[in-house]
A and B are shown apart, each in its own frame.
Chain A
Amino acid sequence: ETGVTQTPRHLVMGMTNKKSLKCEQHLGHNAMYWYKQSAKKPLELMFVYNFKEQTENNSVPSRFSPECPNSSHLFLHLHTLQPEDSALYLCASSQDRVGYGYTFGSGTRLTVV
């Protein structure tokens, strides 16, 4: 492990379910990010947190709700998702400032049925 741990690794959920993705970093980093990775698309930025404060919300639908209780933990709460939300969700963290020196987690492979 590189120090950024994501759970679960795989998740299958129905469109009416509510689930949460978890990201934890033990690197002492101050910034954390959620990215969505779909086939044939770039890594899409979803949310940015710097010192627990959300600094960017990249026009993400409200069915995705982030939570950052402290600098080490980041959650992505999911509810009433659509099949097109199926993707790999990657968490990353960086040390001194937003944007430099990302360490990625292994991701959660989400399938919405």
Chain B
Amino acid sequence: GENVEQHPSTLSVQEGDSAVIKCTYSDSASNYFPWYKQELGKRPQLIIDIRSNVGEKKDQRIAVTLNKTAKHFSLHITETQPEDSAVYFCAANQAGTALIFGKGTTLSVSS
């Protein structure tokens, strides 16, 4: 089955800096890669996703890149703000199977 590794486990940046979180997956059949943000005491919420037919997707300050050959994908947050502080989870799956999540990255943005 699928296995997703996520790094780093914690990340501290200054407000305005960029943050990058990386994930690798094991199952070459996986074709869907979402990212979730979980603020303290709240539910995980989808922030961006990418499918295997696309190499990059951007939504304002957030972007995701996918390298299918190397089986890794990354979340990029530019111009970070204190409200970006949260735990970020990557996930992967193929159609018809449940998402398998990484361990999460705790992002702290200090002002």
Chain A contacts to B: CB under 8 angstroms: 2, 4, 33, 35, 40-43, 45, 48, 56, 90, 97-102, 104-107
Q: Tell me the interface secondary structure of chain A in the complex.
A: loop
- Most A C-beta atoms less than 10 A away, residue of B89, B99, B100: B99
Question: A residues within 8 A CB of B99?
Answer: 45, 99, 102
By the criterion CB–CB under 8 Å, are A98 and B46 in contact? no
Question: A residues within 8 A CB of B96?
Answer: 97-99
Cβ-neighbour of B32 out of A42, A43, A99 (below 8 A):
A99
The 8 A-B residue pairs whose C-beta atoms are closest, nearest first, are A43-B101, A104-B43, A42-B103, A99-B93, A42-B101, A48-B98, A104-B44, A106-B43
Give me 24 A-to-B residue pairs in the complex whose CB atoms sit less than 8 angstroms apart, sorted by A's number: A35-B101, A40-B9, A40-B103, A41-B103, A42-B100, A42-B101, A42-B104, A43-B44, A43-B91, A43-B101, A45-B99, A90-B44, A98-B96, A98-B98, A99-B95, A99-B97, A100-B32, A101-B46, A102-B34, A102-B36, A104-B45, A105-B43, A106-B43, A107-B43
